[in-house]
Amino acid sequence: MRDEARLAWSMGCALTLLALASQAVAEDSAQSAGTREFTVADSIEMTTIGHPEYWHHNQSLDRVANYSPDGTKVVVVLRRGNIKNGVTEYSLLLYRASELLNAPAPEVLLRMSSSSNREVFVDPMWLPDNRTPLLMAENPGEERQVYRFDTVTRKLEALTHSEISLTSFSASADGKTVLYVAENPPEPLWNDQTRRHGVVVTNQKLVDLVAGRHMPVAHRGRLYVQQTGADGAPAARRIEVEGTLDAAFTPLISPDGRLALVRVHPATVPQKWRDYTDQVVRSAIPDEPLEPDQVPGITQFVIIDVQTGEVRTRIDAPQPYTNGGVYAEWARDSASLLFTFLYLPLDGVSAEERQRRASGAFIAQVHLSGRVSPLAPTPFPEFPRIERWDSSRQIAVLVHETLQGVKRQFFRRRGERWHSIPQPSDWRAPLERALREAMNEPPRIVVVDREAGREVTLLDLNPQLKELKLGRQEEIEWLATDGTRVRGGLYYPPSFVRGKRYPLVIQTHGWNPKLFAPDGVFTSPFAAQALANRDIMVLQAWDFPEEGNEEKWREWLKKVSSVALHQFEQEVYNGAIDHLDAAGLIDRNRVGLIGFSFTCWSVKYVLSHPEPGYRYAAASVSDGFDGGYFDYIVRANDHNYARQFENAAGGEPWGAGLQAWLENSPAFNVHRVETPLRMVPFGNPSSLLSDWEWYTLMRRMNKPVELVLVEDGTHTLVKPWDRLVANGGNVDWFDFWLNGRKDDAPEKAEQYARWEKMRERFQSAR
What DSSP string runs through 136-165? EE--TTSPPEEEEE-TTT--EEE----SS-
Tell me what the mean pLDDT of segment 17-35 comes to.
45
pLDDT of 26: 36
What are the domain boundaries of the chain?
Answer: 240-424, 473-765
Beta strands in 244-324 (DSSP E): 244-245, 252-253, 259-265, 298-305, 311-314, 319-320
Q: At what angle do helices 599-608 and 563-582 cross, to 10 degrees?
A: 70
- For residue 133, give the nearest of 74, 185, 46 by alpha carbon: 74
- For residue 396, give the nearest of 374, 370, 369, 381 by alpha carbon: 374
User: What Å distances lie between residue 668 and 607, 630, 659, 663, 671, CA to CA?
Assistant: 12, 10, 11, 8, 8
Tell me what the mean pLDDT of segment 511-527 comes to.
89
pLDDT class for 29, splitting at 50, 70, 90? very low
pLDDT class for 6, splitting at 50, 70, 90? very low
- pTM as predicted: 0.88
Got the DSSP string for 606-641?
Answer: HHHS--TT---SEEEEES-----HHHHHHHTTSHHH
pLDDT of 54: 76
Q: In percent, how much of the chain has pLDDT > 90?
A: 60
User: 74-88, 426-440, 579-593, 686-700: which has the minimum mean pLDDT?
Assistant: 426-440
In which region does residue 499 sit, left (phi positive, over 0), alpha (psi from -120 to 50) or beta (all else)? Answer: left
Mean per-residue pLDDT of the chain: 87
Side-chain half-sphere exposure of 287, counting CA atoms within 13 A: 11
pLDDT of 573: 96
User: 143-147, 344-348, 564-568, 675-679: which has the minimum mean pLDDT?
Assistant: 564-568
Does residue 758 have a pLDDT over 90? yes
Q: At what angle do helices 3-31 and 563-582 cross, to 10 degrees?
A: 70
C-alpha to C-alpha distance for 479 and 187, rounded to whole angstroms:
51
Q: Answer for the pair 682, 714: CB distance below 8 angstroms, yes or no.
A: yes
Name the strand (E) or helix (H) holding 71: none
Does residue 501 have a pLDDT over 70? yes
Name the strand (E) or helix (H) holding 236: strand 234-239
Quote the Cα angle for 358-359-362, to 5°: 85
pLDDT of 461: 95
CA dihedral (309, 311, 317, 320) in degrees, to 10, reads 0
C-alpha to C-alpha distance for 552 and 532, rounded to whole angstroms:
32
On the question of a cis peptide bond just before residue 424, with omega within 30 degrees of 0, the verdict is: no
Instruction: Give bridge partners of residue 509 from the DSSP assignment.
Output: none
Q: pLDDT for 164-209, tens place per residue?
A: 999 999 999 998 999 999 988 888 999 999 999 999 988 888 888 8
- For residue 540, give the nearest of 476, 467, 622, 600 by alpha carbon: 476
Q: In percent, how much of the chain has pLDDT > 70?
A: 90
Tell me what the mean pLDDT of segment 508-536 comes to.
92
The domain made up of 473-765 has a fold known as: Rossmann fold (3.40.50)
Got the DSSP string for 21-32?
Answer: HHHHHHHHHHHT
Does residue 692 have a pLDDT over 60? yes
User: What Å distances lie between residue 308 and 220, 242, 259, 260, 526, CA to CA?
Assistant: 21, 12, 10, 11, 47
State whether residue 720 is helix, strand or coil: helix
pLDDT of 2: 32
Does residue 372 have a pLDDT over 90? yes
pLDDT of 230: 65
Q: Answer for the pair 486, 543: CB distance below 8 angstroms, yes or no.
A: yes
Does residue 630 have a pLDDT over 70? yes
Q: pLDDT for 709-749, tens place per residue?
A: 998 888 889 999 999 999 999 999 999 999 999 999 999 99
The whole-angstrom distance between residue 360's C-alpha and the CA centroid of its chain comes to 22
pLDDT of 8: 32
Tell me what the mean pLDDT of segment 47-69 comes to.
78
- For residue 484, give the nearest of 594, 576, 604 by alpha carbon: 576
Q: Answer for the pair 201, 208: CB distance below 8 angstroms, yes or no.
A: no
Tell me what the mean pLDDT of segment 562-583 comes to.
94
Core vs surface per residue 287-299: b (16+ CB within 10 A) or e: eeebeeebbbebb
Phi, psi of 287 (to 5 degrees): -75, -30
User: 60-74, 244-258, 530-544, 560-574: which has the minimum mean pLDDT?
Assistant: 60-74
pLDDT of 182: 93
